[in-house]
Amino acid sequence: MVRAHRSLALTAAIASVAALGLTACSGGAGSSSAGGGAGDGSGKKVTRIKLVAAEYSKDHTAAFWKQFAEKYKQKTGIDLDVQVVSWDTIDQTSSTMLQNNNAPDILNLNAYASYAKDGLLYNGDEVLPASAKSDILDAFDKSGTYNGKLYGFPDLSSARAFFYNKALFSKAGIAAPPKTWSELEADAKRISALGDGSIGYALPLGPEESQGEFSMWLFNNNGSWKKDGKWTINSPENVKTLSFLKKLTDEKVTQNNPGKTNRADAFNLFASGKVGMVVGFSPLAAQLDKAGTVQYGVAPMPTQASEPQTFGVTDYLMAFKKPGNQEAVKAFYDLYYQKDQVNQFIKAEGFLPVTRSGLDFFKDDAKLKVYLDTLPNAHLTPTDDPTWDKVKLAVQQNLGAAVSPGGDPQKVLDTLQEQAGNGS
């Protein structure tokens, strides 16, 4: 989601097999749906479709899709084969399927634009019920739209918020969470000065999701990844943002080696009670509530903008064009976006809604209020640009170097800007 585990080589492989898949899905013999129930290109409708779903949790993901498949069968008479795949391997699994001319009918992944660019996917006008399409929050409608058509249908979402350790704040004499970056810097210094391994702010700029951490900061300094259709990675706002993060590192108010620290590592540090502040999301809150070892608060992100901004993430349920599967795919989305299905899934997995009706469904959950208040206006990364997949990987691999000893934020962002401009 809401996680990103795609290697550079793998992305290149996906790009190449996407082209192969286009040929396959245009009606070759190998384009049948897994399970042998697909139409044969003669107009015959399928009796079986396949979903490849990402595993958000071992406790809930498979169980949800099992009951969903049973309801889908009852409603349509069509079998839904479900393959739940770990986030660690779903890129490879889906790539292999495409390479073997055996694309799933529905794929749950965090990137769709390259498939849309290659003409492999149905758009929303073709398979999405009008009621579901109009219910999707604007931010996710925008992120799922490529060339004016909605191809990336959101399944769930997350939004980031600012977590702080109440016990460390009290010990350091800090009365309230910071609202500005200067306040955050001052608070981080006071917490670090407590000693005993205390860390002011946990900064994860390692390869797992440095684009997510940096997004949260740059959006709160009026920055962006793209603006008016052009890459703005090395804009003055973004350079100032990364320079501020390097300043925190140089002042030693972060953990060691933030450029090598992944998000999970930062969360674990916060859960250990040694960290004063970290950017987190609702699943972190669930983890902390379950452990019960840290008294924490959640607040809007300290900002340099006129008001706090948040970074949102969503994954997609995309539909591949295959002979005879359009009506079955439409029925899939008609059921998934029923309030009792999509919101049941989101609630079980501990994430956030992607629809207006979902906001209403979760509105009384006090623990989600700080996220729900900002979700409709959340900023997302430019997933609607097929180049983003490669840019994201370059960011993940290189951004952390900017905060290392001798690192140069301007130079790092200049290089990323050049790579984005070259489409690589």
Domain with residue 107: its CATH number is: 3.40.190.10
The answer to whether residues 317 and 295 belong to one domain is no
The answer to whether residues 404 and 373 belong to one domain is no
**Spatial separation of the C-alpha atoms in residues 94 and 112, rounded to whole Å:** 12
**CA atoms 408, 256, 207, 53: torsion sign:** negative
The answer to whether residues 153 and 169 belong to one domain is no
**Spatial separation of the C-alpha atoms in residues 71 and 319, rounded to whole Å:** 19
CA distances, 325 to each of 41, 95, 144 (Å): 10, 20, 21
The answer to whether residues 132 and 234 belong to one domain is no
Answer yes or no: is 100 within a domain.
Answer: yes
The answer to whether residues 338 and 304 belong to one domain is no
Residue 114 and residue 15 in contact, taking contact as beta carbons nearer than 8 Å: yes
The answer to whether residues 191 and 264 belong to one domain is yes
Q: Which domain holds residue 53?
A: 48-159+313-377
The answer to whether residues 242 and 105 belong to one domain is no
Answer yes or no: is 6 within a domain.
Answer: no
pLDDT along the chain (424 residues), means of 10: 39 34 29 38 83 94 97 98 91 90 95 93 97 94 95 95 97 98 98 97 93 96 95 98 98 97 94 97 89 94 93 95 97 96 94 94 90 87 89 93 97 97 78
Give the pairing of strands 199-201 and 275-280: parallel
The answer to whether residues 409 and 260 belong to one domain is yes
Answer yes or no: is 61 within a domain.
Answer: yes
DSSP letter string, 321-369:
--TT-HHHHHHHHHHHTSHHHHHHHHHHHT-B-SBHHHHHHHTT-GGGH
The answer to whether residues 248 and 259 belong to one domain is yes
**Spatial separation of the C-alpha atoms in residues 294 and 276, rounded to whole Å:** 11
Output the CA angle 236-382-394, nearest 5 degrees: 70
The answer to whether residues 234 and 135 belong to one domain is no
Q: How many domains does the chain have?
A: 2
Answer yes or no: is 187 within a domain.
Answer: yes
**Spatial separation of the C-alpha atoms in residues 320 and 25, rounded to whole Å:** 8
For 137-151, b/e burial (b = at least 16 CB within 10 A) is: bebbbebbbbeeebb
Give me the pLDDT at residue 424, please.
60
The answer to whether residues 319 and 299 belong to one domain is no
